[in-house]
Structure 1
Amino acid sequence: MIELHSMKVLGEMKAAGSFVASTLTALKEHAAVGVDLLELNAMAHNLIRERGATSCYLDYAPSFGSGPFGHVLCTSVNDAVLHGLPHPYRLRDGDLLTLDFAASVDGWVADSAISFVVGTARPEDLELIELTERALEKAISVAVVGNKIGDISYAIGSVAREAGLKVNMEFGGHGVGRTMHGDPFVANDGRPGRGFPLKPGLVIAIEPWFMRGTDKLKKAPDGWTLLSANGSRTAHSEHTIAITEDGPLVLTQRGN
């Protein structure tokens, strides 16, 4: 079911968005060569406790995973792009790291993801990250009353196609509210003018994620982490936004 929220509720959801944004900022600042992925997960867990928030991941057990996720943060490194299960791994110089974090504050959820390079960056990695960020910005710009979900999907896909990238359609954005994953599904490519109409009070996570040379995924032995099928590096950018009469409201906007 697709839910539309009042302006009062959107105001309440800002608390979750602000917490998710500040947590990702803190985690990015802490990530460095030699830092273990489990250390980042523990840091996120501590921030959740301090805020009195609730993790959306800890006991999450959807059909596409292997049992409860068991952690509060997705940590995807290099060729891992989605649902990266934290494990004992110390970050190395040049690693491309994606952090995906969702939490509930006072019953309302926000979801966001960032990709960045730890240490010395390869130009091609920075370009891939920038493409996901550009796709996200373009998608947000068309997330206005009167447009449709297909306009958002088309905006993302157009950035990918212009860069010669293929787009995977299995995983994408989604409705956000009391739960992390709701309707509508927001594919990372589509036809403009199609799909659910964007109405005031609709809250969605928009999340372009790109790989080079393939649109296929493979699952890691941990049963959760999704990898590019060809071993290429990946990037992922995500914000939770609300549709309002005054334009899109980015609930997970970060300060930097």
Structure 2
Amino acid sequence: MTDDEATDAPETAEQGDGQAHGSDTAGNGTADSPADSDAFYDALEALGRPVVTATHYAQERECSQAEAAETLDDLAAEGTVERQDVSDDPVVWYPSDWARMTDRERVVLFPERREIVVDQPTQFTRAQLSQFAHLVDTTGTGAYMYEIRQEDIWQAPYESLDGLLETVRSVLPERDPGLEDWIEAQYTRARRFTLRTHEDSYTVLEAESADLMGNVARQKLTDDELRAPISDTESWVAEERVAE
């Protein structure tokens, strides 16, 4: 069946096809909402071509051909895409704004190295990345490389792990369980000890438990660093060593 035939098919046939795929697309979240321009550009990138037919679009978006044709028609109606009848071949759709193909933000994660490469990042994306990653390098063509280090997670300005992970997920194209486990471990580790100022103006190191204070902090830190114990979980820190 050609794309023209799909769009001209009787309404009852379209409804039947949509119902058959409805539960799958709803469950997988792959069906496009009306005028989903981002999904259109994603499909072009995935297919590696500047034009697309309804058949190929449906295959890429994992929806029915009727749903794909309807979405493409919606995009054409709002001016995001253009359609062209190509002789006896199926109708093809292409972007109205070709520049957007080169200016779109792209995010690639290298989980084993905990590196993120972002091409043409928005100001929002760069601000989000600065909360949990370190900018390593940038190019004059709009590419940025970030690295997620231990100290980046230790210093992340979040009161909860969920808040931190929400920011990470807002940037990355998809969740990476291994990376999230590592972030959780670093976040938890950083909060096992805290420094605070006592009401008498000296600095106190507080451990999550007496075991951590006795078997970790007091074993690894010298008398020049810890002046004296205050309680089972607290020690007086030498002020001149705090910055170190």
Task: Tell me if TM exceeds 0.5.
Answer: no
Query: Which one has the largest radius of gyration?
Result: 2
Q: Judging by fraction of residues, say which structure has more helix.
A: 2
TM-score, normalised by the number of residues in structure 2: 0.22
| Greater RCO, 1 or 2 (C-alpha within 8 Å, sep 6+) | 1
